[in-house]
Amino acid sequence: MPQPLRVMFVCLGNICRSPMAEAIFVDRLNKRSLSDRFVVDSCGTGHWHVGGPADERTIRTLQDRSVKIDHVARQLNARADANEWDLFVVMDSMNYRNVLAAGVPREKVRMAMSFVPAYRGLAEQAPAVPDPYEGTMEDFGAVYDMLGDACDAMIDELLANASATTGARS
């Protein structure tokens, strides 16, 4: 069995998009009996919400879809995190630039939507997962749908890469 891949989801505040992505990713892994293949966390590039829960609209959006969340917001600590995590999955181009500027190597950073087959060749030009913080519950629902597509495609791609590297079957 290969070492679990360590995936860190990153957004700005760590209360809307990245904790939702983390919760959805863990939920999809559990449903596919793949939770032993990944270690998952999320963080924000900003410090404002550190130590607090996810936005209550994030929690409601997930609860309405029977997805568990218990994340406590934390800020990216690039010096420690760049060593500890294999992959940083960011939501938009501002997160992308902030994570690179903080010192995470470019080869460890991916836009979330760049995993979706339609956008796979676009790398950092892949569409953003839009920030719903100033938005409505409908915006949170749209983010949930985008992140669901991204998480399913991520699991497929990362497992395919792992089997290609190890020669193992996934």
Handedness of CA 156, 158, 164, 166 (dihedral sign): negative
Helix ranges (DSSP H) in 34-128: 56-64, 78-84, 93-102
- Give the closest residue to 15 by CA, choosing from 63, 65, 59, 68: 59
Check residue 22 for interaction with ligand 4NP (CB under 6 A).
Answer: no
Binder of ligand 4NP out of 2, 47, 48, 166 (CB under 6 A): 48
Q: Tell me, what amino acid is at 125?
A: Q
Give catalytic residue positions: 11, 17, 131
Q: One symbol per residue from 108 to 147: x for binding ligand 4NP (CB under 6 A), - otherwise; what is it?
A: -----------------------x-x--------------
Residue closest to ligand 4NP when measured from CB atoms: 13
Backbone angles phi, psi at 85, to 5 degrees: -120, 140
Q: Report the distance separating Cα 147 and Cα 24, nearest Å.
A: 7
Count residues near ligand 4NP (CB under 6 A). Answer: 11
Check residue 81 for interaction with ligand 4NP (CB under 6 A).
Answer: no
Choice between 16 and 67, CB closer to ligand 4NP: 16
Residues forming contacts to ligand 4NP in the complex (CB under 6 A) are 11-17, 44, 48, 131, 133
